[in-house]
Every structure is written in structure tokens, then in C-alpha cells.
Structure 1
Amino acid sequence: MSEPTISQLQPMPGDWQRALAVVAHPDDLEYGCSAAVAAWTDAGREVAYVLATRGEAGIDTLEPAQCGPLREREQRASAAAVGVSAVEFLGHQDGVIEYGTALRRDIAAAIRRHRPELVITLNHRDTWGGVGWNTPDHIAVGRATLDAAADAGNRWIFPELTERGLAPWNGVRWVAVAGSSTPTHAVDARPGLERAVRSLLEHRTYIEALTSEDPETYVREFLTATATTTGERFGGAPAVAFELFAR
């Protein structure tokens, strides 16, 4: 019997100028796709980040009032490492984000503000490839982002946004989901991998609470292994994978 053929990942579309990444927590993008972001900003594309929370419930040894501002600072430094200066926090409560119209409205408003052609989010499904259970925050934000990409262009959904001066934006052409178990596309990670390592390392407080390993060793091994595995379906080049939904 012949071995089953592994489907190859296609290159991400390149005919766009503005992207908006929407995730639940500080570090979500750095674990998922910052090597791709670095490559995009190098090419002169604009990328902005929107985070639903400040990650204030993410470190057991720090009270949320202390943790939130610290993680916000780390996220801004992390974004800067890959060429992103626009970082917004929506102020939802870490750990108990609720999927619903309030979340969709906030994300639709962000899409109208930034007017992206590409929207990026994180795995919105119940599990990570059937192996690990996903968190409610990731599921809620990922699903709401997919929905808000359409909401942003409909003037009759959330008309109060128009009243606030946020005109409908129907220019989102794709939503790309990082961390998907069924990816379809990929970006060469090699140009941005070193900056992706530096970017994730900016979350040092979180990483030091997460593992007893040397932070740089942990970060480099994690990102390199993930990119290398993805690259097996992308011509052998280390890569960042996305599941791409066209609109």
C-alpha cells in the first residue's frame, strides 16, 4: 500500500495592504503567528493588534490588578519587536469572555476603525486538533471575529457604530485562523523567525511562571519546532500555518 498523501499548504495571498489581528490574550499571537507578522511588516504592510483582555488572570502568583498592566506593557513591547505599533485592548474580563453581541460589536468597531483587508484570529474550535481542550476565551473571540468580519460591513447591524462615526467597512477579504488543526495556507517563517523569538521573549513574566526552563531555550525550541513541522507541508521551509476563510 502506498503512504497517504499529505496535502500541501498554499502560500497566503499577497495582494493586500492592511491586516488586523484579534485575539483574547497577550502572547496569543506570539505563540501563533508573529514570524508571519514580521515578514509582512518588513514588506511594508500595516498590521494592528486588538486584544479582548489584558491577560490579568493569566499568572497565578500575581493579582489581576498588578498582572494586567504588566502584561499590557509586555504585549506592547512584543508587538514592537515585529514592527507593530498599533495595539488596542478592549477591556473584557480575562477568563470569562462571553461570546455574544457585545463582543461582536467591539470587534466590528475595531474592524471599522482599522479597515483591514485581512483579519487574523486564533483557533475558535473546541480543541487543539482533538488533543488538548481549547479555552473558552479563545473560542469566544475567534468565533466572534469570524462573525464580526461580516458585521462590520452591514450598516443595519450595530447602527450605533455609524452614529459614533465608524462607517461600515465591507473590505475584509479573508479571515485567517492561526493554530487551526486544518490549515490551508502558510507563510515562510524564515525571514521573521528571529524576531518572533524576541517577540515571545518579551512575555518573560508569563513564561517564567509557565516553565522552569531557560526562557530563551523554551521559546526558541517551541517556535522552531512548530515552524519546522508546518514546513513539512510547505516545501520544506519553516512556516506559519493558517486556515484561510475567503469572504
Structure 2
Amino acid sequence: MTEPTITQLQAMPDDWQRALAVVAHPDDLEYGCSAAIAAWTDAGREVAYVLATRGEAGIDTLEPEKCAPLREREQRAGAARVGVTTVEFLDHKDGVIEYGTALRRDIAAAIRRHRPELVITLNHRDTWGGVAWNTPDHVAVGRATLDAAGDAGNRWIFPELIEQGLQPWNGVRWVAVAGSSTPTHAVEATTGLERAVHSLLEHRTYIEVLTDEDPETYVRGFLTENARTTGARFGGKPAVAFELFGR
């Protein structure tokens, strides 16, 4: 029998200057795609982060009012490791984000503020590869981000944003979904992987409640294995995968 052909991933477009990453929680981007973001900022592109929550419900042993500022600090430190200085929080409630017009409006407003060509989000489907159940927050934010990319360009949707000085932005050319089980594109992670490791390590408080393993061993193993697995579909080079939707 012949060996099955592995479908190769295409290279992500590189003819853009500004990107906006929209996710639910601190550490979502660090687990999902920060090696790609490091490569992009190294190339002189601008990337901003918008997080729907401050991750305040993520640590069982830490009350939300104490957890939120700690996780915000860790997120800003993690972002700085990969060249991102703009980090905003929408202050939706962690764990109970509701998909709907309020969330779409907040994300559309962020897109109008930052005027990106590329929007990045995390897996919006019910499962991770049909193996593990996804969280409602990821599903809600991912889906709302895909929808808000269109909302941002339509002056008749959320007209109150125009009253706030946020003119329509119809310049989003792609939405890239990290963590998808059906990726189409990839970014080489060779140059950004080490910075991605240190970026995720900035979330040490969260990581230490996830695993008894040494944090650096855990982080390095997780990110390296993901990059190696993706690389099998990207010419053998370590890579970060995305499902890319054109607009």
C-alpha cells in the first residue's frame, strides 16, 4: 500500500502591516500562536491584543478580585516578550462570556480603533480536534470575532460606534484562527519559538496550578511538540498553524 499523502499547509500572507488578536483569556495567545506573533513583530509588523476577560475565574485557589490584576500583569509581560505593547481588556466576565450583540459590538469597536488587515482569534468550534470539549468562552469570543470582522465595516450595524468617533473599517482582509483542527496555513516558528516559550512562562502563577511538572519543562515541551507536529505539514520546519478565512 502507498503511504497517505499529508496535506501541506500554505504560508500565511505577509503583505500586511497591522494585526489585531482577539481572545477570551490571558495565556490564550501564548498557548496558541505567540511564536508566529514574535516572527511578525520581528519583521516590523504591528500586533495589538484585545482580551475579553482578565482571566479572573481561572485559578481555584485565588479569589477573582486578586486574580484579575495578577493575570493582567502576567499577560502584559507575556505580550512584551514577543514585541506586543498594546494590550486591552474588555472586562467581560470570565467563564460566562455570552455570544451576542454586546460582545460583537465590543470587538467591532476594537477593530475600528486598531484598523487591522489581519484579525487573529482562537478555536471557535465545540471541540479541540474532536477529542476535548472547548470552553464556552473560547467558542463565544472566536465566533464573535469572525462576525465582528464584518460588523466593523458596516456603518448601519452598531451606529452608536460612529457617534463615539469610530468610523467603519472594512479593511480586514483575513481572519486567522489558531488552534483549529482544520488548519490551512502556517508560519515558521524557528525564530520565534524561544521567545514564545518565555512569553508563556510569564503566566507562571496559572501554569503552576495546571501541572506539577517544572514550568519551563512543561512549557517548552508543549510548544515544541506542537511546532514539530505542525512542521510535518510545512516542509519539516517548526511552525504555528492557522485556519485562514479570507474576506
Q: Does 1:142 align with 2:142?
A: yes
TM-score, normalised by the number of residues in structure 2? 1.00
Give how far 1:3 is off: 2.2
Q: Distance in 1 between matches of 2:60 and 2:190?
A: 34
Percent identity over paired residues: 87
What amino acid maps onto 1:214 in structure 2? D
Q: Distance in 2 between matches of 1:6 and 1:93?
A: 41
Q: 5 Å matches for 1:62-141? A: 62-141=62-141
Give how far 1:155 is off: 0.1
Q: Distance in 1 between matches of 2:97 and 2:88?
A: 16
Aligned to 2:51: 51
What amino acid maps onto 1:224 in structure 2? T
Q: Distance in 2 between matches of 1:158 and 1:134?
A: 29
SS of residue paired to 1:186: strand
Give how far 1:4 is off: 1.9
What amino acid maps onto 1:29 in structure 2? L
Unpaired segments ≥5 residues, structure 2:
none
What amino acid maps onto 1:179 in structure 2? G
RMSD between aligned alpha carbons? 0.4
Q: Distance in 2 between matches of 1:126 and 1:4?
A: 28
Shifted more, 3-12 versus 17-26: the winner is 3-12
What amino acid maps onto 2:27 in structure 1? D
Aligned to 1:241: 241
Aligned to 1:3: 3
Listed one character per residue, the Cα deviations across residues 81-110 of structure 1 (whole Å, up to 9, x for unaligned) are 000000000000000000000000000000
Unpaired segments ≥5 residues, structure 1:
none
Q: Distance in 2 between matches of 1:88 and 1:14?
A: 25
Listed one character per residue, the Cα deviations across residues 128-175 of structure 1 (whole Å, up to 9, x for unaligned) are 000000000000000000000000000000000000000000000000
Aligned to 2:165: 165
